A = this chain, B = another copy of it.
Amino acid sequence: MDTGRGRTGTGAATGSAPTLEDVARAAGVSRATVSRVVNGVRNVDPAIREAVRRAVAATGYVPNRAARSLVTRRSGAVALVVSGTGAGAGAASGAGAGAGRDGDSDAVARVFQDPFFGRVTGAVVQALRPRGVHPVLMFADAAEDRAQVLAYLGQGGADGALLVTTHADDPLPGMLAGAGLAAVRFSRPEPGAPPLDWVDLRHREGGALAAGHLAGRGRRRLAVIAGPGRLAASRERVAGFLGGAGPATPVVEGDFTVEGGERAMRRLLAERPDLDGVFAANDLMAQGACLVLGEHGRRVPDDVAVVGFDDSSAATAGRPRLTTVRQPVEAMATEMVRLLLDRLASPAAPPAEVLFAPSLIVRDSA
């Protein structure tokens, strides 16, 4: 919204708001140095930074959008767009433009209470904070939501979008690309999808790590709790695991919640009572699996070894602590922010693709 490059005031007239110049004078530094400190640029001597901060407090200077725009040149906001995991699937696959709008309060609650969302949000807030930029949270599951995201960005409410938990068939990335808006995806696009910057994890490699670990522990009667089949990330994790464990391994689909993991584990125990190793496609479902195994008198890991995926807070919130495949969500979200800022600086650059490597975190469950 702001087009100016900064304040041009020449000093503090009596009664007017304090300016960057007032702060510079009070701190005994240059205007450029004040700007760097206010905008959180890191390579400033700590003593000078502290002097500037004291001068900011003493003068009552309020960094304004114009000052921020020295660095961002924009609205001071980016959209953090979350698409749901449940009710929106119908809308996303074209079943109805208005679907999901009224009946999806559970989906909204589930998305925002997943530890994944907290990790993404915390990292995005931290990455944007030194720049004085803030994320605008948008939940986009239905056609109407998507229109709002486009309108908000198109009208300058935010400079670009960070897209998380999008389905493979989510039309939003294509709509943003088509409108020439800056956007970065948390997931690798399907072949042929419109070009956008993205970060993703080598999910398949993560599944293979889990299979290798269970094999190394001598487990041969394996089973899998998959995530929702419409999510490429879930499909890849399972495919990577089955590549190591063998395609005859029974697979039951869960919904990435503790309760979903409990239900899936009950079915697997009924199907294959002699199982000795379980791979769950996220930690919440692994947590649910451990609860059900305990209820059935199976010791984890002695009787049944369990490997999760994510290394979220859920991995250490129960007992046994989960052995899990770590997805470095914070680093990935931070990279998304970096890519978006790069994109805003260089709109015509070719799309960037950043793949992160999973790693196995061995704790107590396998």
A residues contacting B by CB (< 8 A) are 1, 38, 49-50, 53-54, 56-57, 61-65, 75-77, 79-80, 97-98, 105, 108-109, 111-115, 117-119, 121-123, 125-126, 129, 132, 134-139, 143-145, 147-148, 150-152, 154-155, 157, 258, 284, 287, 291, 294-295, 313-314, 316-319, 330
The smallest C-beta distance from A304 to any residue of chain B, in angstroms, reads 16
A76 and B157 contact, CB distance less than 8 A? yes
> Nearest residue in B to A105 (C-beta to C-beta)?
B126
8 additional A-B residue pairs with CB within 8 Å, beyond A109-B123, A111-B122:
A50-B98, A77-B136, A79-B134, A105-B126, A113-B115, A126-B139, A134-B136, A287-B317
> Nearest residue in B to A98 (C-beta to C-beta)?
B53
A136 neighbours in B (Cβ, 8 Å): 77, 134-137
Q: A98-B49, A114-B118, A136-B135 are in contact. Are A317 and B319 (CB under 8 A)?
A: no
Number of copies of this protein chain within its complex: 2
Q: A112-B118, A135-B137 are in contact. Are A76 and B147 (CB under 8 A)?
A: no
Q: A50-B98, A152-B76 are in contact. Are A143 and B57 (CB under 8 A)?
A: yes
Complex Cα distance, B1 from A152, in Å, reads 12
Complex Cα distance, B105 from A77, in Å, reads 20
A77 neighbours in B (Cβ, 8 Å): 77, 136, 157
A125 neighbours in B (Cβ, 8 Å): 108, 112, 137, 139
Complex Cα distance, B126 from A318, in Å, reads 30
Complex Cα distance, B65 from A145, in Å, reads 14
